[in-house]
Structure 1
Amino acid sequence: MDPRLRPYRSVLYIPASKERALDKARNLPVDAIIFDLEDAVSADEKENARETLKAALSQGGYGARVRIVRINGLDTPWGHADAEAVKDMDADVLLLPKVSSAADVDALAAITGDIPVWAMMETPRGMLNAAEIAAHPLMTGFVMGTNDLAKELQTRFRPDRLPMQTSLGLCLLAAKAEGLIIVDGVYNAFKDDEGLIYECEQGRDLGFDGKTLIHPAQVEITNTAFAPSEAEIDLAGRQIAAFEEAEARGQGVAVVDGKIVENLHVATAREILAKAEAISALQEG
Structure 2
Amino acid sequence: MRSKLFVPCSRPEFFAKALAGDADALSFDLEDAVPEGDKAAARSRLVEWLRSDAVASSGKRMIVRINALDSPFFADDLAALAGIRVDCVNLPKASSPAAVRMVAVQMESAGIAADLLVNIETPRGISQAAGIAGAHPRVIGLQVGLNDLFASLGVDRRDLRHVQTALWSIRLAAGEAERFAFDGAWPDLADDDGFRAEAELARSLGYPGKSCIHPRQVTIANALFDTGEDVARARRLLAAAGEAGTRGHGAFLFEGAMADAPAVAAAREAVRRADGNEGTA
TM-score category (smaller protein): 0.7 to 0.9
Partner of 1:143, secondary structure, is: strand
Q: Please say if residues 83 and 108 of structure 1, whose CA atoms lie closer than 8 Å, have aligned partners that are also in contact.
A: no
Give runs of aligned pairs for residues 93-242 of structure 1, distance below 5 A.
93-113=88-108, 115-137=114-136, 138-160=138-160, 162-228=161-227, 230=229, 232-233=230-231, 235-242=233-240
Structure 1 residue runs without a partner (length 5+): 1-7
What is the distance in 2 between the residues matched to 1:135 and 1:157?
28
Q: 1:253 maps to what in 2?
A: 251
What is the distance in 1 between the residues matched to 2:84 and 2:232?
42
Q: 1:15 maps to what in 2?
A: 8
1:248, CA displacement in angstroms? 3.0
AA aligned opposite 2:121 = E
What is the distance in 1 between the residues matched to 2:183 and 2:194?
15
1:179, CA displacement in angstroms? 2.1
AA aligned opposite 2:12 = E
Q: 1:70 maps to what in 2?
A: 65
Structure 2 residue runs without a partner (length 5+): none
AA aligned opposite 1:197 = R
What is the distance in 2 between the residues matched to 1:185 and 1:112?
24
What is the distance in 2 between the residues matched to 1:60 and 1:175?
35
Q: Please say if residues 84 and 111 of structure 1, whose CA atoms lie closer than 8 Å, have aligned partners that are also in contact.
A: no
> Is 1:56 the counterpart of 2:49 in the alignment?
yes
What is the distance in 1 between the residues matched to 2:98 and 2:242?
48
What is the distance in 1 between the residues matched to 2:72 and 2:233?
53
Alpha-carbon spacing, 1:266–1:67, altered in 2? closer, same or farther (3 Å): same
1:55, CA displacement in angstroms? 1.2
Q: 1:266 maps to what in 2?
A: 264
Partner of 1:68, secondary structure, is: strand
For residues 28-65 of structure 1, the C-alpha deviation after alignment (integer angstroms, 9 at most, x for no partner) is: 12121111101111122110111111111111434222
Q: 1:80 maps to what in 2?
A: 75
What is the distance in 2 between the residues matched to 1:97 and 1:12?
16
1:110, CA displacement in angstroms? 4.4
Alpha-carbon spacing, 1:272–1:61, altered in 2? closer, same or farther (3 Å): farther
Q: Cα RMSD between the aligned structures? A: 2.3
For residues 168-224 of structure 1, the C-alpha deviation after alignment (integer angstroms, 9 at most, x for no partner) is: 222211211222231111111223222222111101111212111111110111111
Q: Tell me which stretches of 4 or more aligned residues in structure 1 moved more than 4 Å.
A: 273-278
Identity %: 37
Q: Please say if residues 141 and 175 of structure 1, whose CA atoms lie closer than 8 Å, have aligned partners that are also in contact.
A: yes
Q: How many residues align?
A: 270
AA aligned opposite 2:153 = L
For residues 91-139 of structure 1, the C-alpha deviation after alignment (integer angstroms, 9 at most, x for no partner) is: 0111111101012223323432264222111000001111111111132
Alpha-carbon spacing, 1:262–1:35, altered in 2? closer, same or farther (3 Å): same
Partner of 2:187, secondary structure, is: coil
Q: Please say if residues 54 and 90 of structure 1, whose CA atoms lie closer than 8 Å, have aligned partners that are also in contact.
A: no
What is the distance in 1 between the residues matched to 2:264 and 2:122?
38
- TM-score, length-normalised on structure 1? 0.86
Q: Which moved more, 1:42-51 or 1:186-195?
A: 186-195
What is the distance in 1 between the residues matched to 2:246 and 2:221?
40
- TM-score, length-normalised on structure 2? 0.87
